Amino acid sequence: MTRVVNRLPSLPIERALKTISGRWKAVILYHLMDGPKRLSALQRLLPQISQKVLVQQLRELEEHRLVDRKVFGQVPPRVDYSATPLGLSLQPIMLALCEWGTHHARELDESR
């Protein structure tokens, strides 16, 4: 496994968009907004994602400091994922995006 730096764009808006676009990132973040969750919990909340992809998206979110990963040294293993302050700071934006999304859907339906 090779470590890749995966540098984000320098243009602010591109940077912002790149950090939160990813097939499941928004939804994952949404679920982490109301408290830490274990991997298994996220799997139950998002049955459509394969485990590999879920972990993958979490890793990227972690790399960009939107999500924190806390490992408890136990057997059986336990790992908690939670939104960082930086991740939480996205809440208003995500809300706005959500509203705009519904607005957009309504507008498009009207023109048919």
Interacting residue ranges for a copy of itself, rule: CB under 8 A: 8, 10-17, 19-21, 26-27, 30, 64-65, 86, 89-90, 92-94, 96-105, 107-108, 111
Question: In 3D, which of 1, 2, 7 has the Cα closest to residue 60?
Answer: 7
Length of the chain: 112
Figure out which of the listed residues 14, 65, 69, 98 binds DNA, where binding follows CB under 7 A. 69
- φ/ψ of 46, rounded to 5, equals -125, 75
Cis check for the bond before 12: say yes or no (omega within 30 of 0). Answer: no
The minimum distance between CB 102 and DNA, in angstroms, equals: 22
Residues making contact with DNA (CB under 7 A): 1, 22-24, 38-41, 43, 49-53, 55-57, 59, 69, 71, 76-79
